[in-house]
Amino acid sequence: MPTNPGPQTNTNLVSRYADLRKQVGGMTESVRGMRFNTLIADALVRDEIDAEVNQRGPHGEVDVAFCYDGTWWLLEAKWYADPITDEPLRHLRDVLTERRPGTMGILASWSGFAASALRRAERSRDVVLLDRTHLEALISGTVSGPELIDAVNRSLSVFGHPNLPLATLLRPRRPDPAPLRSGVPDGFTPAAVAAPGAVDPTVTAYGATIAGITADHGRLLITVDDGIMNLAVGRRAQPRRRLELTDCVGSPLATTDGDLFVVRNGGVLRYRQDALEVAAGGFTRPPIIVPGPRGTPWLLDRDTVGWPGAEHASLVQIGDHLGDQRRWPAGLPAGVCQAACWLHERTFFVLGDGHSTITDVDTGKHRWIETPVGRPHGLIRLDERHVLIVGADRHVLITVLDTATGQATEPTPINLTGPVHGAARIRDALIILAGAPVDHATVVPVVARLDLPSLV
């Protein structure tokens, strides 16, 4: 019979997954298997796929069964310490031969697959393989059930590959050949804004789907709709692909050890050595990546149960595994939060529209402070007490705020318009993502450079 889990949220599923992983050595293999089966089925039910668990018939038990897009799928789930051999695959194929023609199989293994299982899968045409990265992407909400099933079905049907890495499955089918173009969009000049006493920016690139920005040594990493672009600063270099990934949102973060963190749906993915894995997840709305102490990734989670104007957002520290994240109140209503950055020790500055806050996550104390510009979004930590904020009214405004005193510099107008999508610093250059009006009805997102010393 179908599972009846009640309302399932990404947070609930991630918590159950973390609990299962922590208790895995203290339960029998049978109990662990049933809980794992139910967790996978509930993730599918969350995405409106009617899944059944632990169904026993005359030809053996089926761990998870579901129908999607007119095809029945039988899923065999394994949670072992070591990669599984081809024996579970042989069993699954025997089950499939006893079912109606056209039924497909999924072998899901938390510990991955031995060479014998991979070889046998390559000779099959009715079974796909899912490893831990695929399962965590599903459970966390980084990937939806229909999206995952469509991707693996296409991989098997079109290319004959039963086991493609998560990074390959999430590549765009038809990537935009030029999501980011060097130069200035046709029709834009600073005179199109002509803010009183404004500074003219140097526009270096533009693109319709620009969504975020971060600095990576002397380069920029820019989020577009289908991945992350690499753009050198101060040279006439063409943008290059750093990562092909569908449905990217917000600003990424690059760490000193070479990892790249990026937000997709309700999860955060870590990209390293050409592979993707889920670093955190379970968020109802995409979180904002926050540069924490020593450049470590934190998150600003704006999920709420009730009205976001009354419930605080959360600052979240990413752990080693999915479900290990720790959270603290951000000290500001979720509905006004726009960005955050680490200041010193365990103290963060949380940027809000109207008011911001300085929050000590250890003591829980927070102090509200007036935000000196409207519609803020860009945020740069200058030192332990000063931050640079980029906002927009009829034009872009930049100010420096002393978080200890609450005093801010007079906002500097920039000949660009909103919305502001982020800011980054590379040495003496301030890079902002904002809007450039090219005619009376069209604003194009642009990457613009400003001289930082002249602003601070």
Task: Tell me which residue of 159, 97, 165 sits closest to 129, measured CA to CA.
Answer: 165
Give residue-wise pLDDT tens across range 148-171.
999 999 999 999 999 999 999 999
Least confident of 207-216, 277-286, 303-312, 354-363: 303-312
The residues near 204 (Cβ < 8 Å, ≥ 6 apart) are: 182, 183, 231, 233, 447, 448, 449
Which amino acid is it at 334? A
Element (H, E) at 96: helix 87-97
Tokens 């976001």 belong to 308
pLDDT for residue 23: 84
The residue among 212, 204, 226, 192 whose CA lies nearest residue 436 is 192
Query: What's the helix, strand, coil split of the chain in %, to 5?
Result: 20, 40, 35
DSSP secondary structure letters along 420-439: EEEEEEETTEEEEEEEEESS
How confident is the model over 17-24, as a mean pLDDT?
89
- Nearest-angstrom CA–CA distance, 360 and 343: 10
Flag whether pLDDT at 6 surpasses 50: no
Q: What is the pLDDT of residues 380-396, one digit of tens each?
A: 999 999 999 999 988 99
Distances (CA, A) of 217 to 89, 212, 214, 323, 361: 46, 17, 10, 30, 28
pLDDT tens, residue by residue, 98-148? 888 999 999 999 999 999 999 999 988 899 999 999 999 999 999 999 999
Q: What is the pLDDT of residue 304?
A: 83
Strands (E), 142-266: 181-182, 202-206, 212-216, 219-224, 227-232, 240-244, 248-254, 260-264
Looking at residue 156, what is its pLDDT?
Answer: 94
Identify the pLDDT of residue 2. 42
Find the mean pLDDT for residues 195-219: 94
Nearest to 422 by CA among 132, 257, 211: 211
Asked if 74 and 102 touch (Cβ cutoff 8 Å), the reply is: no
Q: How far apart are CA 74 and CA 66, in angstroms?
A: 7
Q: What is the pLDDT of residue 58?
A: 63
Both ends of the chain: CA-CA distance in Å? 65
Backbone angles phi, psi at 327, to 5 degrees: -135, 150
- Mean pLDDT confidence for 214-237: 89
* Mean pLDDT over each residue of the chain, to the nearest integer: 93
* Residue 456 banded pLDDT, cuts 50, 70, 90: confident
Closest CA to 282 of 330, 322, 320: 322
Do 432 and 419 contact (CB within 8 A), yes or no?
Answer: no
Q: What is the pLDDT of residues 314-359, one digit of tens each?
A: 999 999 999 999 999 999 999 999 999 999 999 999 999 999 999 9
Give the model's pLDDT for residue 29: 84
Cα distance between residue 195 and residue 249, in whole Å: 30
Residue spans of beta strands (DSSP E) within 28-178: 51-57, 60-68, 71-78, 104-109, 127-130
**Encoded amino acid at 354, one letter:** G
Instruction: Tell me: pLDDT of 85 over 90.
Output: yes
Check pLDDT > 90 for residue 308. no
Per-residue pLDDT at 3 exceeds 90: no
Q: What does the pLDDT average to over 440-444?
A: 92
Question: In this structure, are residues 418 and 169 in contact, taking their beta carbons and an 8 Å threshold?
Answer: no
Asked if the model's pLDDT at residue 307 lies above 90, the reply is no
Pick the more confident residue, 24 or 335.
335
Fold of 10-169: Trna Endonuclease; Chain: A, domain 1 (3.40.1350)
Structure tokens at 50: 């009617």
Please tell me the distance from the alpha carbon of residue 444 to that of residue 377, in angstroms, as a whole number.
Answer: 17
Q: Quick one: 181-455 is in which CATH superfamily?
A: TolB, C-terminal domain (2.120.10.30)
Where do the structural domains in the chain lie, given as residue ranges? 10-169, 181-455
Give the angle 324-45-265 at the CA atoms, nearest 5°. Answer: 50
- b (16+ CB within 10 A) / e for 394-420: ebbbbbbbebeeeebeebbbbbbbbeb
Cβ 350 vs Cβ 301: under 8 Å: no
